[in-house]
Every structure is written in C-alpha cells, then in structure tokens.
C-alpha cells in the first residue's frame, strides 16, 4: 500500500509539472490543444492524490507500523476516529493533506470556470505552480510513506517493524481535533484560488472586475472555513489545554488569525471595487498578502522559528517555505510593477462622510490589527537579532495593543452600514445614529451603575448595544419597505428582504455574530479562579458555586490509565451537576493529559481542572475558574458562520414593484439624490 | 448570687479573650498567606513560562513542566524577600533573563514593540487622510455639466438602479 501511495504522489507530481509547464507554454503560444491538455492534467491531480490519501489512511487503519509516519503517530489501541485523524497529526501527513485539499480546489475550479476565457487557464497554471511546490515536498522532502529501517550489526540497513506504534499526541485525542485541522486547511488553502485569479488578472491586464466576480464565493468559502477552523481551535484550547482560556496569542494561533484579518479586509474593500471601481491596487495586494500569510502560517508551524505550544510537527523544512514565500512575493511584485497601470481607480471619493471612507477606515483598522499581531509574533526574533538578548511577547502585550484596535473595529461595524455610498448628509447621520448612540450610551451607564468598572468591558458592552441597534434598524427599515410594497407579514418581509440581497443581509448577520462574540470576550474581564487541595467530603466555594469532592477513583482503558475525581456542584440549595475531571497517562506514548470538565451556562462557565496531587499529602489539587459569558463566544461564532452561509446563498432579483407603489419609490429616489 | 454570676461572666470573658489571643495569630497568618498567594499570582501573571508553551507562568499547567514549577518557587522566594513587586520581578529577570517577562519592558529597543503598531496605524491614518483629501479636492475641481441633477435622465436612471441594488438587487 505504501508503494502505491508513493507512486500516486509521484504521478501527481509529474501530472502537476505537466499542467504547470504546458499551461505556461500554451499561454505564451496561444496553443488551444496544449491548453486543453494542461487543464486535463490539472483535473487529474485530485483523483491521483486521493489514491495516495486512501493509501495513507489504509496504512493507519491496518496498523502498518513498518511505515515511520504511522509508527510515530498511531498505536494499536487508538480509537478508529483518531486513527483517521492521525493522518494530519504530523508534518508529513499534514503536508500531504494540504496538497490533497489544494488539488481538490484546483479540480473544482477547473471544472466550474470553463467559460472564463483566458483567465481561468492562467489561474489554473498558477494554482498548479503552488501545487507543484507542495508535491515536491511530499515526494522528496517529507514523504509520509517512508519505511522504518534499523542498522544491523554488519552496518547494513534493514526494514524494522515495531510491535506497536508510539501513539498519537494525547492533546490531539479530542473529537474537535478531527475537524479543526481540516477546516483550518480548507481556509488556508482556499485563499489560493482568489490569489491565483488575482495574479492571473494582473498578468493578463484583465479588464474590469471579472476576477473578483469569479472568486467572490471562493473567498467567502475560504474565509468561512478559516473562521470555523479558528473557532474550533479556540474551543479545543478551552476544553483541552486546561488553563481556563481559549486564546493565548500563541504564534500559531496568531498565524491563523492574520490571514483571517486581511481576508476580512478584502471581503469589505472588494465591494468598493465592484460598485465604484476603486481600490484596485489595494485589493490585489490584500489577496496577495492574505495568501502569503497563509503560507507564512505554515512556515511558522513547521520551521520552529518561534516557540509554540503547537510544536507537534516541527522540522527543518522552514527554509523551503521561506524560499517559496520569497519567490511568490517576488513574482507578485514583478507583475505588479509591470502591470499597475491597469489598476487605476475609475472613480474618486466624493465625500469623507460616505460608505467608501468607512471601508477605508475599516481596512486600516483590520490591517493595523494584523500588523500588531505580526509584529508581536516576530518581535522576539527581531529583538534578538538587534540587541542580542531575547524577549518574550505574550498575552499581556497582545491584549494591551489589540483591545483598543478591536473596539474601534466594533464601532466601525456599526457605523459603516449606516453611511450611504458616495455621500451622507448630516441630516441622515443624525437620523440614523441618534437611537443607536443613545442606547449604546445607556447600556454602558446602566452597567456602570450595576458595578461594572472595567473600562474596556464597559466600552465593549456599550458598543455591542450600539451595533446591535444599527443592525436591527437596517433589517427593520428594509422589511418595512417590503411590507408597504407587498402587504406581507413581518416574517415574510424579512425573509424576502434577506433573499433579495443575501450578500448584504448575510453580512449583517455576520456583523451580529461578531457583536455576540465581543460580548463573550468582554466577559473574560470578570473571571474568577481558585486552587485548592481537597479531601473526599471537602468543599470549595467559588462565586455562586460550591464544589464538593465526592469520590476519587483509578482505572484503565486499552488506551490510557486514569485517575478520576467525582465532584458535586451546587448553587445555593440546588444540586446542579456532577463533574468528573481526570488525569490520564496514555500507555503507548507514555504522555500525561488532564481532562477538563466544564459546566456551561448562559451567564458563566464553571471550569474545573485536576491540577495535580500534593506530593507530601497525596491529596488532589483542584483548579477552578468561573468564566463569564463564554458560551456567547461560541454562539456568536455560530451566527458568523450562519451569516456566511446566507451570504453564499445566491440572492434573487427583487419582485416587481406594483404600479401603485411607484410614486413612493420616486419619493425615495428624490430623497436619496438629495443626500438623505 | 449576683457576684457569682458576674464572676462566671468574668471567667467567660477571660476565656474568650484568651481564645481570641490564641486564634488571632492563626487568622492573621491565614490572611497573610492568602495575601501572599494573591501577590505571587499577581506578579506571576506578568511573567511567562519558558518551557515553550508560551503560557503565563502561573497559568502553565503542563504536568512535570521543567520550567514553571521551579520558577514559581523562585518567585515565591523573591516575593518573600522583597516588599516591592518591581524588585521581585527584577529578581526573576536576574535569574531567567528578560525573556521571562510576558511583555517586553518599555525601554530601549523594546520600546519599539509598543510604539510600532500604533505608529503604523497612525501612519495609515495620515495616508488615508491624504488620499481622501486628494480625492475630494479633485472631485471639487471637476466641472459641473449638463442639467440640474434631478432633471438629468442619466443621473435619475443611475439613482434608480442603485436604489434597486441597495434594496435587494442581485448579489
């Protein structure tokens, strides 16, 4: 099976090389037959790599420990689900997985966009170029099909098959880790598609916004997957790592967050190009930077240039990635310098108070956040290079720098949609902002009266109320117009409104999700924690909760041995639940893991961690946290994804307006032209 | 009788006083132990675990972590020795280097860590202001041609299309 897998990777590499080279020649010589063969070669990569993936999965499921990658990341008693997920738990497998996802994107792009003239073939060539880089790594640098060997006493090497594998890292043996890497990779790799079309359009001096129309959905899909991947990673950190938080500003977390920020900026600024033919240079570079940051994220994970809790898969392939990054950047810069004439804006800004300028500020804030994260991530390396001494940049730095930036972004989330394209009059500004501002301020004041003193939390809650009112008013106004036109119920009118322009109203749903997430994040200002050594029958008081240790037991499963505590949780006289935190020792890898238990509620989570055992007394030590509003973060994330799905759904044209309503429509036209 | 009762009361008060004298040091010790732990935690949140996990020192929960356990013990000693938080932190820096600080100190080259993001954002803001100014100036200089705005059929058509799009045109 390993030979078939290796052969499939080599075949995919050859096919990809053909697709790349034949595509370039076809483009230069305008050779239609060669172009068609290059396209077919590009399509074939996906099924070929699927064979390689199936082989690797087969090797894991059949416990083929003669293969080094399988022996290092699996063992006989590993549950089926984790044997399946073990494929992307290490360097070699995750890079093959990356290649496979990329080939899948290429497959669909080449089949879907047949009608895009020369743009699609050239984009296909660029995608094949990216694919080629990863396939070279898969085939020659970090092959997952390498056979284990040992050196015999006579100095020769011979195959070696261990009795059992070393097992999967216990931190990865969690249901979410089955889905977190694939979703994150779907996001990372997905940005290759808009990158390829943007670069192809630049090379071809493709007129207009064709590349943006082609890639809009691809960008949203990639962004949606990246969002989901980041959220799953945060939830995994919360539920597995046991430090009570979900975001630690770890370099690899930052690496996934940076392309998310630039991708978000692109999704906003692209509207400027579509509607007004503006910001063409900006958009092209946003796509380039987003893709480069995706590769940079992989570079950070793999190179070990910065230390990280995600050091599951470090190896000296960092220079391959740095070389690839430099090459891609040089190609982008070269074609930009040669073709920038075609990127001139078609329109100019008419007023500072307009939707256009709000997009500009939104982009500035998103890029400032991205830069702050990048700067903080790389500063230890920069500082060491300049001063010779190493400094650390941890959560206090990122929180202090980024919280003000994100609050500003939250404000813009509410302000932007209320500004009209081209020009906004003071009158409409007053009309649109009075209620949201009053309600936002009242929320902040009310919370202050009820004892909230953290300035950032007050601002976050006040701004969340402000943005929520602006979003609700947008839906209300739109639905009211439809109701007046059609006489439908509010529910029907709202549905009709969303279906008429799914992209716009899906975007508002995303904004609302961000608000809900902001509320959840602001809750972290009020967390409480306590650590206590407990005996059976003793009780720990924390916030509104009383946690009593009822039992302490030891046991084993085929995969690990464990020590389990049974804790009864009460709130006042009410018995809430029983929690069972564990300390485990995985037998194959001999690695320990602590299983966190969480009692989650709308108001707060009670988060309990079995911190250890006092070596002198032998008594268990419990660390408990009360984390307010965490559930809102996950629900907000779900709303963001729902909004993305709505925005992806094809919108339909508005229903014909009844003749009797035309007069009213004309009134609106006149009001609009006056600047209201 | 009355004297006997008063004698009893006196004895009880004496006993209570004695009890308070015995318990008070324990209470004070418990309270100071709690304050000590809070101080360790407060200072520890400004420090980083250097085992590679990138977590705050007092939040590192890796079992048998080679760094956080001994470092927290060193921190306890420093907190016992120095009344000032700054001196305790200095003691930790002397032991483990500046890398133990969770955020770079705002001095020397490390000041760049704090200032650069805001300087970059301010630079971006200035750039946007310049672009906006240039664009709006060009717009203001553009000649006004043709009919008044609402009587211009092309303009009306453009407005109509945009309203339609705004209220639910194709995405």
> Hey, which of A270-279, A315-324, A377-386 has the most confident mean pLDDT?
A377-386
Task: Residue count of chain A, please give it.
Answer: 676
What CATH number corresponds to the domain at position B8? Answer: 1.10.8
- Same domain for B31 and B74? yes
> pLDDT band for position A77 (50/70/90)?
confident
> pLDDT band for position A347 (50/70/90)?
low
Q: What percent of chain A has pLDDT over 90?
A: 49
Count of beta carbons in the 10 Å neighbourhood of residue A94? 21
B133 part of a folded domain? yes
> pLDDT band for position A541 (50/70/90)?
very high
Spell out the residues 6+ positions from residue A513 whose beta carbon is closer than 8 angstroms to its own: A636, A637, A638, A639, A640, A641, A642, A643
- Same domain for B6 and B67? yes
Q: Cβ(A621)–Cβ(A605) under 8 Å?
A: no
Q: Average pLDDT in the A527-553 region?
A: 92
Between A350, A386, A478, which is nearest B139 by CB? A350
What domain range includes position B65? Answer: 2-103
- What pLDDT, on a 0 to 100 scale, did the predictor assign at position A672? 42
Q: How many domains does chain B have?
A: 2
User: Structure tokens of B125?
Assistant: 């803001």
In angstroms, what separates the C-alpha of A348 from chain B's closest C-alpha?
A: 5
pLDDT at A463 over 90: yes
- What pLDDT, on a 0 to 100 scale, did the predictor assign at position B79? 92
**Long-range contacts for A569-573 (Cβ within 8 Å, ≥24 apart)?**
A569/A545, A569/A599, A569/A606, A570/A545, A570/A546, A571/A544, A571/A545, A571/A546, A572/A544
B171 part of a folded domain? no
* Residue that is last in its domain, among B80, B103, B126: B103
Q: Which residues of A395-408 are buried (b: 16+ CB within 10 A; e: fewer)?
A: bbbbeebbbebbbb
The domain segmentation of chain A, as residue ranges, is 1-171, 174-345+359-413, 526-631
Q: Give the least confident one: A52-61, A629-638, A640-649, B134-143.
A: B134-143
Cβ within 8 Å, pair A394-B56: yes
Between B56, B125, B135, which is nearest A364 by CB? B125
> pLDDT band for position B35 (50/70/90)?
confident
B47 part of a folded domain? yes
pLDDT at B160 over 70: no
- Same domain for B74 and B144? no
- Same domain for B20 and B79? yes
- The residue among A651, A364, A410 whose CA lies nearest residue A512 is A410
In angstroms, what separates the C-alpha of B117 from chain A's closest C-alpha?
A: 5
- Same domain for B132 and B86? no
Q: Cα separation of A69 and A83, whole Å?
A: 12
- Same domain for B43 and B14? yes
- What pLDDT, on a 0 to 100 scale, did the predictor assign at position B47? 92
> pLDDT band for position A669 (50/70/90)?
very low
The tens digit of pLDDT for each residue in A560-579 reads 899 999 999 999 889 999 99
ipTM of model: 0.79
Q: Cα separation of A452 and A458, whole Å?
A: 7
- The residue among A79, A71, A42, A210 whose CA lies nearest residue A557 is A79
Q: What are phi and psi of A450, to 5 degrees?
A: -80, 10
Cβ within 8 Å, pair B101-A392: yes
Spell out the residues 6+ positions from residue A296 whose beta carbon is closer than 8 angstroms to its own: A255, A258, A321, A325
Q: Average pLDDT in the A423-447 region?
A: 88
In angstroms, what separates the C-alpha of B141 from chain A's closest C-alpha?
A: 11
Q: Give the least confident one: A242-246, A349-353, A394-398, A440-444.
A: A349-353
B82 part of a folded domain? yes
In angstroms, what separates the C-alpha of B82 from chain A's closest C-alpha?
A: 23
- Same domain for B156 and B118? yes
Q: Which residues of A567-578 are buried (b: 16+ CB within 10 A; e: fewer)?
A: bbbeeeeeebee
The tens digit of pLDDT for each residue in A275-317 reads 777 778 888 999 999 999 999 887 777 666 665 545 444 566 8
In angstroms, what separates the C-alpha of B26 from chain A's closest C-alpha?
A: 19
Q: Residues 92 to 111 of B: which have CB under 8 A from any A CB? A: 97-105, 108-110
Spell out the residues 6+ positions from residue A472 whose beta carbon is closer than 8 angstroms to its own: none
Is this structure's pTM higher than 0.80? Answer: yes
Judged on CB neighbours under 10 Å (0-12, 13-18, 19+), A14 is middle
- Same domain for B63 and B82? yes
Q: Average pLDDT in the A203-229 region?
A: 86
What are the Cα distances from residue A423, in Å, to A268, A350, A450, B142, B154? Answer: 18, 7, 40, 16, 19
- Same domain for B141 and B64? no
Mutate to test the interface with A, among B54, B98, B158 (most CBs of A within 10 A): B54
Between B101, B164, B171, which is nearest A391 by CB? B101
Q: Does B66 touch chain A (CB under 8 A)?
A: no
Residues of A in contact with B150 (CB under 8 A): 670, 673
Q: Cα separation of A608 and A540, whole Å?
A: 11
Q: Average pLDDT in the A375-384 region?
A: 90
- Find the closest chain B residue to A648 by CA distance: B171
- What pLDDT, on a 0 to 100 scale, did the predictor assign at position B30? 65
Q: Does B71 touch chain A (CB under 8 A)?
A: no
In angstroms, what separates the C-alpha of A509 from chain B's closest C-alpha?
A: 15
The tens digit of pLDDT for each residue in A217-262 reads 899 999 999 999 999 999 998 988 888 889 989 888 899 999 999 9
Find how far residue A433's CA is from the centre of its chain. 32
pLDDT at A334 over 90: yes
Q: Cβ(A66)–Cβ(A160) under 8 Å?
A: yes
Spell out the residues 6+ positions from residue B103 whose beta carbon is closer than 8 angstroms to its own: A392, A393, A394, A396, A397, A400, B46, B113
Q: Cα separation of A662 and A1, whole Å?
A: 70
Q: Cβ(A611)–Cβ(B60) under 8 Å?
A: no
Q: Does B131 touch chain A (CB under 8 A)?
A: yes
pLDDT at B2 over 70: no
pLDDT at A167 over 60: yes
Between A241, A392, A583, which is nearest B99 by CB? A392
Residue A600's DSSP bridge partners are A605
Element (H, E) at A612: strand A604-613
Q: Cβ(A63)–Cβ(A74) under 8 Å?
A: yes
- The residue among A613, A239, A632, A244 whose CA lies nearest residue B45 is A244
- The residue among A387, A309, A252 whose CA lies nearest residue B105 is A387
pLDDT at A437 over 90: yes
Cβ within 8 Å, pair B171-A583: no
Cβ within 8 Å, pair B48-A392: yes
Percent helix / strand / coil, chain A, rounded to 5:
65, 10, 25
Q: Cβ(A329)–Cβ(A186) under 8 Å?
A: no
Residues of A in contact with B101 (CB under 8 A): 391-392
What are the Cα distances from residue A48, in Å, to A13, A37, A85, A122, A143? Answer: 10, 16, 21, 22, 16
Share the mean pLDDT of chain A.
87
The tens digit of pLDDT for each residue in A615-625 reads 888 899 999 99
Q: Does B125 touch chain A (CB under 8 A)?
A: yes
- Find the closest chain A residue to B156 by CA distance: A669
List the alpha helices (DSSP H) in A250-317: 251-276, 280-303
Residues of A in contact with B42 (CB under 8 A): none
């Amino acid at each position: 099976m390993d030979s078939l897998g290796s052969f499939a990777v080599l075949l995919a590499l050859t096919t990809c090389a053909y697709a790349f080279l034949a595509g370039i020649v076809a483009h230069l010589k305008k050779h239609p037959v060669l172009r068609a063969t290059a396209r077919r070669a590009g399509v074939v990569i996906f099924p070929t790599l699927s064979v390689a993936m199936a082989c690797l999965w087969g090797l894991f499921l059949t416990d083929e420990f003669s293969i080094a990658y399988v022996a290092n990341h699996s063992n006989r008693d590993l549950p089926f689900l984790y044997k399946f997920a073990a494929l992307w738990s290490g360097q070699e497998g995750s890079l093959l997985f990356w290649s496979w996802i990329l080939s899948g994107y290429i497959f669909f792009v080449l089949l879907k966009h047949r009608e895009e003239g020369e743009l699609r073939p050239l984009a296909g060539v660029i995608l094949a170029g990216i694919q080629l880089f990863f396939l070279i790594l898969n085939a020659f640098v970090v092959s997952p099909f390498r056979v284990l060997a040992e050196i015999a006493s006579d100095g020769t090497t011979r195959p070696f098959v261990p009795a059992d594998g070393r097992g999967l890292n216990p931190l990865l043996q969690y249901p979410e880790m089955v889905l977190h890497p694939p979703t994150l990779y779907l996001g990372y790799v997905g940005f290759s598609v808009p990158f390829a079309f943007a670069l192809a359009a630049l090379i071809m001096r493709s007129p207009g916004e064709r590349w943006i129309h082609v890639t809009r959905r691809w960008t949203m899909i990639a962004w949606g997957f990246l969002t989901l991947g980041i959220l799953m990673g945060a939830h995994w950190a919360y539920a597995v790592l046991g430090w009570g938080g979900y975001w630690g500003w770890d370099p690899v977390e930052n690496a996934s967050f940076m392309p998310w920020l630039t991708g978000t900026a692109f999704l906003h600024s692209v509207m400027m190009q579509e509607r007004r033919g503006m910001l063409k240079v900006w958009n092209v570079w946003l796509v380039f930077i987003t893709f480069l940051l995706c590769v940079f994220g992989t570079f950070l994970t793999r190179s070990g240039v910065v230390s990280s809790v995600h050091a599951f898969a470090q190896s000296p392939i960092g220079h391959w990635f740095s070389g690839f990054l430099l090459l891609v950047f040089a190609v982008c810069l070269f074609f930009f310098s040669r073709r920038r004439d075609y990127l001139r804006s078609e329109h100019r800004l008419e007023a500072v108070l307009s939707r256009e300028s709000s997009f500009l500020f939104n982009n500035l804030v998103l890029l400032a956040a991205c830069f702050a994260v990048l700067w903080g991530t790389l500063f230890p390396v920069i500082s060491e290079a300049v001063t010779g001494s190493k400094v650390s940049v941890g959560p206090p730095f990122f929180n202090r720098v980024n919280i003000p930036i994100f609050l500003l972004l939250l404000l813009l989330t509410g302000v932007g949609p209320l500004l009209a394209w081209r020009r906004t009059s003071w009158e409409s500004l007053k009309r649109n902002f009075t209620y949201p501002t009053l309600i936002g301020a009242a929320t902040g004041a009310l919370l202050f009266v009820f004892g909230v003193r953290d300035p950032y939390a007050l601002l976050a809650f006040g701004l969340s109320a402000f943005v929520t009112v602006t979003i609700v008013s947008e839906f209300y106004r739109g639905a009211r117009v439809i109701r007046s036109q059609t006489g439908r119920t509010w529910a029907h009118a709202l549905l009709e409104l969303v279906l008429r322009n799914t992209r716009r109203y899906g975007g508002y749903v995303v904004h609302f999700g961000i608000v809900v997430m902001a509320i959840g994040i602001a809750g972290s200002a009020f967390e409480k924690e306590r650590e206590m050594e407990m005996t059976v029958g003793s009780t720990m008081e924390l916030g509104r909760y009383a946690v009593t240790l009822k039992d302490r037991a030891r046991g084993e499963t085929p995969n690990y041995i464990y020590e389990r505590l049974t804790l009864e949780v009460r709130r006042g006289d009410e018995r809430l639940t029983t929690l069972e935190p564990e300390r485990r020792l995985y037998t194959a890898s001999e690695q320990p893991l602590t299983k966190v238990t969480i009692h989650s509620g709308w108001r707060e989570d009670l988060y309990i961690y079995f911190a250890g055992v006092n070596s002198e007394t032998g008594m268990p030590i419990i660390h408990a946290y009360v984390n307010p509003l965490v559930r809102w973060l996950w629900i907000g994330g779900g709303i963001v994804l729902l909004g993305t799905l709505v925005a992806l759904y094809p919108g339909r044209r508005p229903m014909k307006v009844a003749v009797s309503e035309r007069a009213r429509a004309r009134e609106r036209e006149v009001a609009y032209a006056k600047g209201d | 009788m009355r004297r006997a009762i008063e004698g009893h009361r006196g004895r009880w008060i004496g006993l209570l006083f004695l009890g308070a004298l015995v318990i008070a040091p324990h209470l004070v010790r418990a309270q100071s132990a709690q304050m000590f732990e809070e101080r360790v935690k407060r200072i520890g949140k400004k420090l980083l675990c250097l085992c590679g996990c990138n977590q705050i020192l007092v939040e590192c929960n890796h079992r048998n972590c080679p760094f956080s356990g001994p470092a927290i013990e060193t921190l306890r000693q420093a907190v016992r020795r120095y009344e000032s938080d700054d001196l305790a932190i200095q003691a930790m820096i002397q032991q483990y280097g500046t890398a133990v600080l969770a955020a770079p100190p705002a001095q020397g080259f490390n000041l760049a860590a704090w200032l650069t993001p805001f300087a970059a954002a301010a630079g971006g803001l200035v750039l946007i202001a310049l672009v906006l100014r240039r664009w709006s100036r060009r717009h203001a200089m553009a000649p006004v041609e043709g009919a008044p705005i609402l009587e211009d059929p092309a303009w009306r058509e453009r407005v109509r299309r945009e309203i339609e799009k705004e209220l639910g045109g194709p995405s």
